[in-house]
Structure 1
Amino acid sequence: MRIIIERSNLLKTLGHVHRVVERRNTIPILSNVLVKTEDGALRLKATDLDLEITETVAANGEQEGATTVPAHLLYDIVRKLADGSEVKLATNAEGSQMTVTSGRSNFRLQCLPESDFPDITAGTFSHSFKIAASALARLVERTQFAISTEETRYYLNGIFLHTIESEGKLRLRAVATDGHRLARAEMEAPAGSEGMPGIIIPRKTVGELQKLLDDGGDDILVELSDSKIRFTIGPVVMTSKLIDGTFPDYQRVIPQGNDKALTLDRQSFSAAVDRVSTISSERGRAVKLAVTAGQLTLTVNSPDSGTATEELAVGYESDDIEIGFNARYLLDITGQLSGDEAVFMLADPGSPTLIKDGGDDGTLYVLMPMRV
Structure 2
Amino acid sequence: MKFTIERSIFLKSLSRVQGVVERRATVPILANIYLETRQTGLELRATDMDLEISETVFCEIERTGSATAPAYMVYDIMRKLPENARVNLEHYPEESQLVLCSGKSKFILKSLPVTDFPALVESTLPISFKVRAIDLRSLIERTRFAMSTEATRYYLNGIYLYAVHNAGVGVLRAIATDGYRLALAEVSLPKDAYNMPSVILPRKTVEELRTLIEETTTEITTSLSNTKIRFAFGQNTILISKLIDGTFPDCERVIPVNNNKTIEVNAKALAEAVSRVSTVMATDKARAVKLEVVRDSLVLSASNTTTNNNATDELDAVCDCTPLSIGFNSRYLLDILGQMTGDTVRFAVSDPSSPMMVREVADDSALYILMPMRV
Q: TM-score range by the shorter chain?
A: over 0.9
Q: Is the 8 A contact 1:2 1:64 kept in 2?
A: yes
Q: Is the 8 A contact 1:40 1:60 kept in 2?
A: no
Tell me the amino acid that sits aligned with residue 94 of structure 1: E
Q: Percentage identity across aligned positions? A: 48
Q: Which runs of 5+ in 1 are unaligned?
A: none
Tell me the amino acid that sits aligned with residue 287 of structure 2: R
For 1:67-94, what per-residue CA distance to the aligned partner results, in whole angstroms no more than 9, with x for missing partners? 1111111111111111111000101252
Q: Is the 8 A contact 1:3 1:88 kept in 2?
A: yes
Q: For residue 259 of structure 2, give the secondary structure of its aligned residue in structure 1.
A: coil
Tell me the amino acid that sits aligned with residue 254 of structure 2: V
Q: For residue 336 of structure 1, give the secondary structure of its aligned residue in structure 2.
A: coil
Give the superposition deviation at 1:165.
1.4
Give the superposition deviation at 1:42.
0.6
Give the superposition deviation at 1:285.
1.1
Give the superposition deviation at 1:362.
0.6
Give the superposition deviation at 1:143.
0.2
In structure 2, which of residues 272, 285, 302 is the aligned counterpart of residue 300 of structure 1? 302
Q: For residue 257 of structure 1, give the secondary structure of its aligned residue in structure 2.
A: coil
Q: Is the 8 A contact 2:40 2:56 kept in 1?
A: no
Q: Distance in 1 between matches of 2:72 and 2:130?
A: 32
Counterpart residue number, 2:363: 360
Give the superposition deviation at 1:129.
0.7
Q: For residue 229 of structure 1, give the secondary structure of its aligned residue in structure 2.
A: strand
1:244 maps onto 2:266 in alignment: no
**Number of matched residues?**
372
Give the superposition deviation at 1:124.
1.0
Give the superposition deviation at 1:283.
3.8
Tell me the amino acid that sits aligned with residue 312 of structure 2: T
Counterpart residue number, 1:82: 82
Q: Distance in 2 between matches of 1:86 and 1:118?
A: 29
Pair 1:138–1:74, CA change in 2 (3 A): same
* Mapping for residues 62-101 of structure 1, pairs under 5 Å: 62-92=62-92, 94=94, 96-101=96-101
Counterpart residue number, 1:58: 58
* Mapping for residues 297-336 of structure 1, pairs under 5 Å: 297-303=299-305, 304-336=307-339
Counterpart residue number, 2:44: 44
Q: Distance in 2 between matches of 1:46 and 1:56?
A: 12
Q: Distance in 1 between matches of 2:320 and 2:373?
A: 23
Instruction: Give the ranges of 4+ consecutive aligned residues of structure 1 lying more than 4 Å apart after TM superposition.
Output: none
Q: Distance in 1 between matches of 2:285 and 2:268?
A: 22
164-173 or 180-189: bigger deviation: 164-173
Q: Is the 8 A contact 2:258 2:350 kept in 1?
A: yes
For 1:230-280, what per-residue CA distance to the aligned partner results, in whole angstroms no more than 9, with x for missing partners? 111232101000000000010111001100010000000000000000010
Q: Is the 8 A contact 2:37 2:64 kept in 1?
A: yes
Q: For residue 303 of structure 2, give the secondary structure of its aligned residue in structure 1.
A: strand
Instruction: Return the TM-score normalized by structure 1.
Output: 0.98
Q: Which runs of 5+ in 2 are unaligned?
A: none
Q: Distance in 2 between matches of 1:170 and 1:67?
A: 46
Give the superposition deviation at 1:361.
1.5
Q: For residue 134 of structure 1, give the secondary structure of its aligned residue in structure 2.
A: helix
Q: For residue 363 of structure 1, give the secondary structure of its aligned residue in structure 2.
A: strand
Counterpart residue number, 1:128: 128
Give the superposition deviation at 1:167.
4.1
For 1:100-159, what per-residue CA distance to the aligned partner results, in whole angstroms no more than 9, with x for missing partners? 000000001111111111111331101111111111000000000000001100000000
Q: Is the 8 A contact 1:280 1:305 kept in 2?
A: no
Counterpart residue number, 2:342: 339
Q: Distance in 2 between matches of 1:40 and 1:241?
A: 27
1:33 maps onto 2:36 in alignment: no
Counterpart residue number, 1:268: 269
Q: Is the 8 A contact 1:36 1:66 kept in 2?
A: yes
Q: For residue 367 of structure 2, give the secondary structure of its aligned residue in structure 1.
A: strand
Give the superposition deviation at 1:184.
0.2
Give the superposition deviation at 1:318.
1.4
Instruction: Return the TM-score normalized by structure 2.
Output: 0.97
